Structure 1
Amino acid sequence: MQSSLFTAAFVAALLLSYLTRLWLATRQMRHVAAHRGSVPPAFASTVSLEVHQKAADYTLAHARFGLVGAAVGAAVLLGWTLLGGLDLLNATLRDALLPQWGAMAYQLALLGAFALIGGLLELPLDWYGTFRIEQRFGFNRMSLRLWLLDMLKGAAVGALIGLPLAALILWIMAASGGLWWLWAWFAWVGFNLVLLLLYPTVIAPLFNKFEPLADESLRARVQALMQRCGFAAKGLFVMDGSRRSAHANAYFTGLGSSKRVVFFDTLLQRLSSAEVEAVLAHELGHFRHRHVQKRMIGIFAFSLAGLALLGWLAGNGAFYTGLGVLPNLAAPNDALALLLFMLAMPVFTFFIAPLLAQLSRRQEFEADAYACQQASGRDLANALLKLHEDNAATLTPDPLYVRFYYSHPPASERLAALSAVAKPAPAA
């Protein structure tokens, strides 16, 4: 009976989440297509019809591709679970490895094989997105060789980092009794904090080149801004983002004393020094309002709740059979539990996406307001317009689609808020 309830809940959540994705995507496509023919009045003097139509076409292409990706993802998920894919993989590796190599080797092999097969299944979609959609709109700058090299590097880094962490979590699950999930959470949090420290200097340079910011005038301007904002960074770096894409960005990375500011070279090529300063002031607004810390705390709290739930589910046989897997009788089920939980949870957590998106948009407004205090709101608005153009972001998204998915406010709302903040208060 319990097994049937697990199956019914999973199928219902999967179907409802897929239909919701389909409904929202078709709304977005209709809305963008209906407004493709003319630039919104608020942007008529700053955005050409050609640029507006390119953004609409890019958005429509991604929306259609997203529908294919959602359908493939749902089919793969069913293949792994109710259609028996994970059960077959588990039985094959268990019978082949458990007698000679032991429980830990078998479970690590199961996790590794699952990751490898999942990655291979995603390759065609990733290739199409890069070499068809991004290439068509002039954004892709990667060769096939570089794309493949990135795939191999990513797999190697994932194995070097992921397998030791997985071994630690599996050991904790086997050795810590009923509260294993709490100790596993401490290990996961510690791992993430260490990774934040190591990422800027150890991992990121494996994929991109980082050079110190050479523009002395811009460097002085940026350092003065950070001093005003009380922000200390280990360095200012330029990343060769143009090697892979025409998209532009800037970000902070690292933790504590390892924090560094990174500019895409495409950003510096496109924006003036004043506009770069305004964009960085926005990023510093996230620092000032402690958005990064708040997001980390939220992620850690959510992961604690998730592991506690897994701690209960892992001991319930209906959790396995309800999702198409026969639990092991003579071998541990810890790796199976982790994989099933990872597969099933996204179809349920999908429905909290609007709440997270709303929180993110509110934080973006707060960061914009802070940027207007530390730099020029006009420069920030100009920079945002250029970035919208460079990234082919549509100016006419469907409002409901925005509320569900957008982590950043659409350009119309964001520029209107900037205008209101930047205006002097009326005389009494």
Structure 2
Amino acid sequence: MAKKIGIITLMLFGVYAVGMYFYIFHSGSGDIPEVLKGTVADPAVFMSPHELLLSEDFSRIRNFLFFVATPLEWLIYAFILLLGISRLFEKKATLRAKTTLFQTIIYVFWLSLLMYIVLWPLEYYKYYLSKDYGISTQTFPSWMRDGLVDLGVNYVMSIVVMSVIYGLMKKSEKKWWFYTWLLSIPFSIFVMFVQPIIIDPLYNDFYPLQNKELEAKILALADQAKIPSDHVYEVNMAEKTNALNAYVTGIGSNSRIVLWDTTLNRLTDKEILFIMAHEMGHYVEKHIYFGMAGYILLTFIGLWLTSKIMRWIITRYGQVLKIKKLGDIGSIPLFLLITSFLLFAASPLTNYFSRYQESRADQYAIKLTGDHAAAVSSFQKLTKAGLSEVNPPILVKWFRYTHPPMLERIYSVYKDSPNIEQEKKEERKKGK
């Protein structure tokens, strides 16, 4: 039975991978609408033919890897169960420890290590691809260090989460999901609060904005938006990437707006002020808190579905998967497989709301700065720096894009400012 399920699973994955390959590489979707060709939204206007070719190739490969990597993870979890590897890890853990906590610590260590080793070639290929296309500037030792930090952080988080969940499963097989959801609320808030000061600094150095002249302009903009002035930081990303970015992180007194130094080095002051105004829009409109509320709701639904699906699978296929009962730590791969699948299935919905918030932040930035030309040029430079796909295929947009595609972002600014070309010419004259 296990062999039959394994073969069927492999065949389904193969058919899925081939289907995604043809969709991404040969569907012909993602072309620029005729009405926008030759406008500021057309990448042919602001990117060279070589950059266009690199962007097209890089985007297709990256999209294909995205759609294959997550199901591949599910496949690995399935085979860890089918081949009895999970059962072996469980036996080792129960032989060496008596309490559930220490058994979980041992089990999660072996599972995390195995997943890291099995998936390392794929992660390395992503790193190599980014280096090859000129996006990443990170050295191999630095990349390895970040990967090991990821492994350590995820291991610690997994121990905490799995110890609580499986402890609750042993106490109540029917209501464990509800108690887990209740505990997930303060835990998620705590993680968001400490992330900027504990987790993020493990990867990069953060410090207050160094350019005092630019800082004065940003503080004036922040004062105009009624935002606390001590929440703007820069981070040293130039040693890792050529891409540009800025983001909002943390909650409460630990909330902050973060600018990559690549953004500071390669955008003009006006473009940076537009980017800052965009991030201020997230802050002013409380998007982090709305996101948290959505996360809490989806966690409730997801845990309830996970409990139902796990119970059904263990009842019907427990013997094949070497799982005796729900609370056995050997069922952790099944739990991770189901939750990963549900997160993937929910991503079109969560990405839709994220894109809505990003559009709102763009609108706020335009309202605050009134600078359409800076908005368009910053979007164009972001596209060039990251070799981004301005108009991705619909499935790519649904499952990957937390921000509106650049075609939409540039067009939304362009259509509201028909004299934008004149604005840009005037800016170039002033620059001279």
Q: Which residue of structure 2 lines up, in the alignment, with residue 389 of structure 1?
A: 384
Q: 1:418 aligns with which of 413, 416, 419?
A: 413
SS at match of 1:140: coil
In 1: Cα distance, 2:173 partner to 2:389 partner: 52
Q: Which residue of structure 1 lines up, in the alignment, with residue 140 of structure 2?
A: 144
In 1: Cα distance, 2:171 partner to 2:400 partner: 41
Output aligned runs, 1:279-298, within 5 Å. Answer: 279-298=275-294
SS at match of 1:102: coil
Q: Which residue of structure 2 lines up, in the alignment, with residue 359 of structure 1?
A: 353
Instruction: Using the TM superposition, give the Cα deviation of residue 272 of structure 1 relative to its aligned residue in structure 2, in angstroms.
Output: 0.9
Decide whether the 8 Å contact of 1:241 with 1:266 is kept in 2: yes
- Indicate how the Cα distance of structure 1 residues 417 and 168 shifts in structure 2: closer, same or farther if over 3 A, else same: same
- Indicate how the Cα distance of structure 1 residues 280 and 320 shifts in structure 2: closer, same or farther if over 3 A, else same: farther
Quote the RMSD (CA, aligned, Å): 3.3
AA in 2 matched with 1:360: S
In 2: Cα distance, 1:11 partner to 1:190 partner: 40
Instruction: Using the TM superposition, give the Cα deviation of residue 27 of structure 1 relative to its aligned residue in structure 2, in angstroms.
Output: 4.7
Decide whether the 8 Å contact of 1:13 with 1:348 is kept in 2: no
Once the two structures are overlaid, the 10-residue window that deviates more, 347-356 or 47-56, is: 347-356
In 2: Cα distance, 1:161 partner to 1:348 partner: 20
Decide whether the 8 Å contact of 1:24 with 1:401 is kept in 2: no
In 2: Cα distance, 1:405 partner to 1:144 partner: 26
Instruction: Using the TM superposition, give the Cα deviation of residue 355 of structure 1 relative to its aligned residue in structure 2, in angstroms.
Output: 3.3
Q: 2:113 aligns with which of 108, 116, 141?
A: 116
Decide whether the 8 Å contact of 2:271 with 2:377 is kept in 1: yes
Q: Which residue of structure 2 lines up, in the alignment, with residue 274 of structure 1?
A: 270
Q: Which residue of structure 2 lines up, in the alignment, with residue 107 of structure 1?
A: 104
Instruction: Using the TM superposition, give the Cα deviation of residue 156 of structure 1 relative to its aligned residue in structure 2, in angstroms.
Output: 2.2
AA in 2 matched with 1:128: Y
SS at match of 1:171: helix
Deviations along 1:259-313, one digit per CA (max 9) or x if unpaired, are: 1221111000111111111011112222333332222211111111122233344
- Indicate how the Cα distance of structure 1 residues 75 and 136 shifts in structure 2: closer, same or farther if over 3 A, else same: closer
Q: Which residue of structure 2 lines up, in the alignment, with residue 25 of structure 1?
A: 24
Decide whether the 8 Å contact of 1:27 with 1:401 is kept in 2: no
Once the two structures are overlaid, the 10-residue window that deviates more, 120-129 or 101-110, is: 101-110
In 2: Cα distance, 1:90 partner to 1:103 partner: 18
Instruction: Using the TM superposition, give the Cα deviation of residue 206 of structure 1 relative to its aligned residue in structure 2, in angstroms.
Output: 1.6
In 2: Cα distance, 1:397 partner to 1:219 partner: 36
Once the two structures are overlaid, the 10-residue window that deviates more, 178-187 or 320-329, is: 320-329
In 2: Cα distance, 1:249 partner to 1:13 partner: 37
After TM superposition, the score normalised by the length of structure 2 is: 0.82
Decide whether the 8 Å contact of 2:355 with 2:401 is kept in 1: yes
In 1: Cα distance, 2:404 partner to 2:274 partner: 17
SS at match of 1:263: strand
Instruction: Using the TM superposition, give the Cα deviation of residue 403 of structure 1 relative to its aligned residue in structure 2, in angstroms.
Output: 4.7
Once the two structures are overlaid, the 10-residue window that deviates more, 252-261 or 146-155, is: 146-155
Decide whether the 8 Å contact of 1:313 with 1:319 is kept in 2: no
AA in 2 matched with 1:56: E
Output aligned runs, 1:337-356, within 5 Å. Answer: 337-347=331-341, 350-356=344-350
Q: Which residue of structure 2 lines up, in the alignment, with residue 181 of structure 1?
A: 177
In 1: Cα distance, 2:16 partner to 2:349 partner: 15
In 2: Cα distance, 1:269 partner to 1:323 partner: 59
Identity of aligned residues (%): 21
Instruction: Using the TM superposition, give the Cα deviation of residue 345 of structure 1 relative to its aligned residue in structure 2, in angstroms.
Output: 4.3
Q: Which residue of structure 2 lines up, in the alignment, with residue 91 of structure 1?
A: 87
Q: Which residue of structure 2 lines up, in the alignment, with residue 242 of structure 1?
A: 238
Q: Which residue of structure 1 lines up, in the alignment, with residue 189 of structure 2?
A: 193
Deviations along 1:100-143, one digit per CA (max 9) or x if unpaired, are: 52251333322332222111111111111112x11111122121
Decide whether the 8 Å contact of 1:181 with 1:311 is kept in 2: yes
Once the two structures are overlaid, the 10-residue window that deviates more, 41-50 or 299-308, is: 41-50
Q: Which residue of structure 2 lines up, in the alignment, with residue 46 of structure 1?
A: 46
Q: 2:248 aligns with which of 247, 252, 255?
A: 252
Decide whether the 8 Å contact of 1:254 with 1:260 is kept in 2: yes
After TM superposition, the score normalised by the length of structure 1 is: 0.83
Instruction: Using the TM superposition, give the Cα deviation of residue 357 of structure 1 relative to its aligned residue in structure 2, in angstroms.
Output: 3.2
In 2: Cα distance, 1:158 partner to 1:179 partner: 26
- Provide structure 2 residue ranges, at least 5 long, that are not aligned to the other structure: 420-432
- Indicate how the Cα distance of structure 1 residues 17 and 353 shifts in structure 2: closer, same or farther if over 3 A, else same: farther
- Indicate how the Cα distance of structure 1 residues 18 and 188 shifts in structure 2: closer, same or farther if over 3 A, else same: farther
Q: Which residue of structure 2 lines up, in the alignment, with residue 59 of structure 1?
A: 59
Q: 2:122 aligns with which of 106, 121, 125?
A: 125
Decide whether the 8 Å contact of 2:112 with 2:151 is kept in 1: no
Q: Are 1:371 and 2:368 an aligned pair?
A: no
In 2: Cα distance, 1:341 partner to 1:402 partner: 28
Instruction: Using the TM superposition, give the Cα deviation of residue 232 of structure 1 relative to its aligned residue in structure 2, in angstroms.
Output: 2.2
In 2: Cα distance, 1:145 partner to 1:21 partner: 33
In 1: Cα distance, 2:252 partner to 2:135 partner: 34
In 2: Cα distance, 1:417 partner to 1:159 partner: 43
Decide whether the 8 Å contact of 1:314 with 1:334 is kept in 2: no
Instruction: Using the TM superposition, give the Cα deviation of residue 323 of structure 1 relative to its aligned residue in structure 2, in angstroms.
Output: 9.3
